[in-house]
Amino acid sequence: MDLEGLRVMGIDPGLTRCGLSVVQAGRGRQVLPVAVGVARTPAGSELAERLLRLSRAVKEWIDDYQPDVIAMERIFERGNVSTVMHTAHAVGVMILAAAERDIPVHMYTPSEVKKAISGNGRADKKQMTTMITRILALGEPPKPADAADALAIAVCHCWRAPLIARGAALSAPTTRSGVSVR
Amino acid sequence: MDLEGLRVMGIDPGLTRCGLSVVQAGRGRQVLPVAVGVARTPAGSELAERLLRLSRAVKEWIDDYQPDVIAMERIFERGNVSTVMHTAHAVGVMILAAAERDIPVHMYTPSEVKKAISGNGRADKKQMTTMITRILALGEPPKPADAADALAIAVCHCWRAPLIARGAALSAPTTRSGVSVR
């Protein structure tokens, strides 16, 4: 299954800092970097204002880079309750932005991303940054960590997409685009 | 502080069933019912599709009834993790719909709503339904529970709004509309 040219937008969700990236699948396991950045919203602002800003930033990225699919890190209920809830609100807003443009969203757990990129589901931030810099042949390591994470999530999807597409072809024909949010 | 005529939309957030209501403040503590209903999204559909449907339903209600303010029940991290996350995604999408229309959103905890309506922060569903039916002089109790809850949240805001407005007038002039999402 050849996915050369597939454009993947990677999102490391967050309300204060949201990592955003776009990569393009090349031949075989080659992946080319297209864009990387971080959308920030001021922690002191109202939640509604912050969600509005984040929504606009993500819509701008989607409209500018026209990804075929969005890969997002799945969030868990751990750490500060208020932070988790804010991130969950942000995820809702970003999934909506994708749905409004009929772009499928695929979710990956942090360990799935780590395993895909480094071969180790428990790789640390430094190992991940080193690997993603090498894989994308970047001149220097991407900063901040959220940006590197967003690239890792997008590359993870590029490498998992052929398997997903193959799985979808074998399964029921009701699976839309072969990629779904679960 | 006279808030007669204030239109409040009440939301009992949920992805499978989302209670929606609109009430209008009358004289003193009088509140008039305007509309009540439940937006449902099929549990078997993809999350993206469900958030899109819910977003459209809420936008339609806002555009049809033109509320001045939206009152929403604050969700907590309890019960099934996946349900809480889905509800949190839904809340994000609904706060965004309000923010896009510059409508302030105010959050209340379940016990704040119960206390405002029944005088008891631990009132049960039956007591709440009886009280809301009486307060709004409805011909019969609203059904399902989500619809009754949405009415209770809206009435709660009508009764709390004068206090909030008074508080805002006394505090720093930076508070936008005197009502904020926290």
B46 is in an annotated binding site: no
Residues of A classed as catalytic: 12, 73, 146
User: Which has the higher per-residue pLDDT, A40 or B162?
Assistant: A40
pLDDT tens for each residue of A11-31: 999 999 999 999 999 998 999
Q: Which of B2, B64, B68, B73 is catalytic?
A: B73
User: What is the C-alpha to C-alpha distance for residues B18 and B74, in angstroms, rounded to an integer?
Assistant: 13
Instruction: Please name the residue ranges forming H helices in chain B.
Output: 47-65, 81-100, 110-118, 125-135, 145-170
Contacts of B70 (CB under 8 A, 6+ apart): B8, B9, B10, B11, B62, B94, B98, B103, B104, B105, B106
Of B4, B173, B27, B11, the C-alpha closest to B108 is B11
pLDDT tens for each residue of A44-91: 999 999 999 999 999 999 999 999 999 999 987 666 778 899 999 999
Confidence of residue B167 (pLDDT cuts 50, 70, 90): confident
pLDDT tens for each residue of B19-55: 999 999 999 899 999 999 999 999 999 999 999 999 9
CB-based contacts of A120-127 (< 8 A; 24+ apart in sequence): none
CA distance A127 to chain B (A): 30
**For range A100-125, the mean pLDDT:** 96
Structure pTM?
0.89
- Would you say residue A168 lies in a domain? no
CA distance B128 to chain A (A): 27
Range of the domain at A148: 7-163
- Would you say residue B176 lies in a domain? no
Helix count and strand count (H, E) for chain A: 5, 5
Q: Which of B4, B49, B68, B146 is catalytic?
A: B146
- Would you say residue A45 lies in a domain? yes
- Would you say residue B169 lies in a domain? no
The pLDDT score that the predictor gives to residue A75 is 87
B146 is in an annotated binding site: yes
CB A121 within 8 A of CB A109: no
- Would you say residue B174 lies in a domain? no
| Token pair of A65 as six digits | 């880079």
Q: Which residues of A134-147 are buried (b: 16+ CB within 10 A; e: fewer)?
A: ebbeeeeebeebbb
- Would you say residue B124 lies in a domain? yes
Residue contact B81–A77, C-beta within 8 A: yes
C-alpha dihedral over A151, B83, B59, B96, to 10 degrees?
-40
The pLDDT score that the predictor gives to residue A162 is 79
Confidence of residue B80 (pLDDT cuts 50, 70, 90): confident
Contacts of B106 in chain A (CB under 8 A): none
Residue contact A98–B49, C-beta within 8 A: no
User: What is the C-alpha to C-alpha distance for residues A96 and A72, in angstroms, rounded to an integer?
Assistant: 13
Residue reference for tokens 């990677």: A10
Coil/strand/helix, residue B73: strand
C-alpha dihedral over B173, B175, B177, B182, to 10 degrees?
-170
Residue reference for tokens 């810099």: A133
The pLDDT score that the predictor gives to residue B1 is 55
Number of domains in chain A: 1
- What are the backbone angles phi and psi of residue B78, rounded to the nearest 5°? -140, 165
**B146 is annotated as an active-site residue:** yes
Name residues 98-127 of chain B within 8 A of A (Cβ).
98-100, 104-105
- Would you say residue B178 lies in a domain? no
3-state secondary structure A153-166: HHHHHHHHHHHHHH
B77 to chain A, any CB pair closer than 8 A? The answer is yes
Whether B175 shows a pLDDT value over 70: the answer reads no
pLDDT tens for each residue of B87-140: 999 999 999 999 999 999 999 999 999 999 999 999 999 999 999 999 999 999
How many angstroms separate the first and last alpha carbons of chain B? 23
Confidence of residue B174 (pLDDT cuts 50, 70, 90): very low
Taking the alpha carbons of A11, A12, A18, A21 in that order, is the dihedral positive or negative? negative
Residue reference for tokens 């239109």: B7
CATH of the domain at A99: 3.30.420.10
Residue contact B91–A93, C-beta within 8 A: no
- Would you say residue A2 lies in a domain? no
pLDDT tens for each residue of B2-18: 689 999 999 999 999 99
CB A96 within 8 A of CB B94: no
Residue contact A100–B182, C-beta within 8 A: no
CA distance B127 to chain A (A): 30
- What are the backbone angles phi and psi of residue A8, rounded to the nearest 5°? -115, 130
Whether A167 shows a pLDDT value over 80: the answer reads no
Helix (H) or strand (E) holding A33: strand A31-40
Contacts of A98 in chain B (CB under 8 A): 48
